[in-house]
Amino acid sequence: MFDGDSLESVILMLDGFACRYKHLDDGRRQITGYLVPGDLCDPYVFMLRKIDYSVATLCPALIAKVPRSKLVKILDEYPRIARALWWSALVDEGILREWVVSIGRRTALERTAHLICELYHRLQAVGLARNNRCEFPITQQDLADSLGLSAVHVNRTLQELRSKKLIVQRNHSLVMLDPEKLRDLALFKQSYLHMAEDGNNSRHEFMTSRAKHAPPLSRMIDQKGG
Amino acid sequence: MFDGDSLESVILMLDGFACRYKHLDDGRRQITGYLVPGDLCDPYVFMLRKIDYSVATLCPALIAKVPRSKLVKILDEYPRIARALWWSALVDEGILREWVVSIGRRTALERTAHLICELYHRLQAVGLARNNRCEFPITQQDLADSLGLSAVHVNRTLQELRSKKLIVQRNHSLVMLDPEKLRDLALFKQSYLHMAEDGNNSRHEFMTSRAKHAPPLSRMIDQKGG
DNA sequence: CGGATCGTTGAAGAGTATCAATTTGAGTGG
DNA sequence: CCACTCAAATTGATACTCTTCAACGATCCG
């Protein structure tokens, strides 16, 4: 799905990771957000005819493609889903604001820690993380393009997080060894994610609602694209 | 209006400039967006009980305070306004994505030029800029906190834009001497603002609609706060 | 006129980028 | 199971953008 495309259907992440990103003309890339299971790639289909960013998967992913017309009908029938969608867009905006704060004012170390915290908490909210461990299929180059750093510097920053005994990475998963210290270092305040106290949010509801009422899924296994 | 406040009414900018910002615990500040006439400070009142940022005016400003209940009624009666609100939130998100790209991947010079272009085009869209001139009541410290730079560096960056004959500043207004070169330098693509070809957008409609149906305005002159 | 805020300048240093090479690790096919 | 390949991670050296600090000048306003 690319910058400038028209929107004829909405894509829901069922499994795997993806990201939104933009390219500058000379090739510089900036990732503007991650999509985890339960997220919609493009909740803008109702207002904007074109999207102004691209989406790429970071690993093989499972998605549901919901035709625009079908989604409109679903939203009419199940207003809770409409509300969840609206909520979700606002949460996305809050996350985006925090990214601006991170890239603008946090140091490389704080910024990297903050992104790890964000992803862990979002995955936890949809039941995909526990015991301080979660999938982490994001390359150092992707992190660099998310954090406004170079890949080399991300590498050294991750080394520092490891040497401080805050995280370990194995295969494509990550463990927070001392979540509290990590959040302190990151200046991380969970509240901006607007989740309930128990760590759940309405996306979870959206996912489970979806399971009962969803249109047929199209299955797509996709290699990482750029 | 501060981080954590409950939302009992929505504030509409009628005149003047304001910004959204967040503080880190140690005092570092990051501005996450500007509010110009026609913008709502907090279009989140419908879903989120708390806001996760603060708002400050940058100059004496005129605002309309719309009680939550009244706005709900207005939106029921005039669905076009509801649509404009929804649209507006999506445009805000697009702007935020572009800020992430700017701070993450544009150089200081490009980034500064890009913010100038954004503000000019947004002001033009609500009829507050023409002939490449607009109000610009933003201090270098504010620019620094918007662009993720130090005030000193913003100063030198503005000097460079002036020495390249791209802008001039007088009093509190700014003139783009060579808008095309400025946009090229900034890698600025107008499309992300999702405005119509003529430079107008639905916020303008929102403003004029409001004039006919608005609740009584409360007038508030406010000194810059932090 | 005095005080505050904002803008400007210079010098020195920190943080991060860049470049280039090397190592590691995960497939893949023989 | 091993050799091969390719992408990702790591390392070192060097350069540069931007920050910090401190001082000074300009402007505004009561």
| B1 within a domain of the structure (yes/no) | no
Confidence check: pLDDT of B225 > 80 = no
Residue A2 maps to a domain: no
Q: Could you tell me if residue A4 is inside a domain? A: no
What type of residue sits at position B170?
R
d(CA B13, CA B65): 9
- Domain assignment present for residue A1? The answer is no
Q: What is the mean pLDDT of chain A?
A: 83
Identify which of A15, A211, A213, A36 has the alpha carbon closest to the alpha carbon of residue A125: A36
Q: Is A40 helix (H, G, I), strand (E, B) or coil?
A: strand
**Pair of tokens at residue A112:** 């990297």
- Look at chain A and report how many structural domains it folds into: 1
Q: Closest Cα of chain A to B25: distance in Å?
A: 7
B185 CA vs D28 C1’ separation (Å): 34
**Any domain includes B46:** yes
Taking the model in full, what pTM does it have? 0.88
A82 CB below 7 A from strand C atoms: no
Which pLDDT score, from 0 to 100, does residue A5 have?
54
- The DSSP code sequence of A187-225 is T--GGGG---TTS--HHHHHHHHHHHHPPPPPP------
pLDDT tens readout for residues B147-204: 999 999 999 999 999 999 999 999 899 999 999 999 999 999 999 998 764 445 544 4
Looking at the domain assignment, is residue B168 inside a domain? yes
Among A133-137, B23-27, B52-56, B208-212, where is mean pLDDT lowest?
A: B208-212
pLDDT over threshold 50, residue A202? no
How far A135 CA sits from the closest chain B CA (Å)?
25
DSSP track, A164-183:
TTSEEEETTEEEESSHHHHH
Check B47 against A20: CB less than 8 A apart: no
Please give the helix or strand (H or E) that residue B22 lies within, else none.
Answer: strand B18-23
SS3 at position B10: strand
> Is A3 within the bounds of a domain?
no
Mean pLDDT is lowest, of A118-127, B19-28, B60-69, B217-226, for B217-226
- Whether residue A36 is predicted with pLDDT greater than 60 in this model: the reply is yes
**CA of residue A79 to C1' of nucleotide D26, angstroms:** 60
The chain-wide mean pLDDT, for chain B, equals: 83
**Residue whose tokens read 């009624």:** B73
Q: What is the CATH number of the domain that holds A217?
A: 1.10.10.10
Judge whether residue A103 contacts strand C, using its CB and a 7 Å cut-off: no
The reply to whether B175 falls in a domain is yes
Q: Which domain holds residue B43?
A: 9-225
For residue A67, the model assigns a pLDDT of: 86
> Do B105 and A28 make contact, defined as CB atoms within 8 angstroms?
yes
* pLDDT given for residue A87 in this prediction: 80
CB contact under 8 Å between B24 and A50, yes or no, is no
| Closest CA relative to residue B57, chosen from B215, B225, B181, B205 | B225
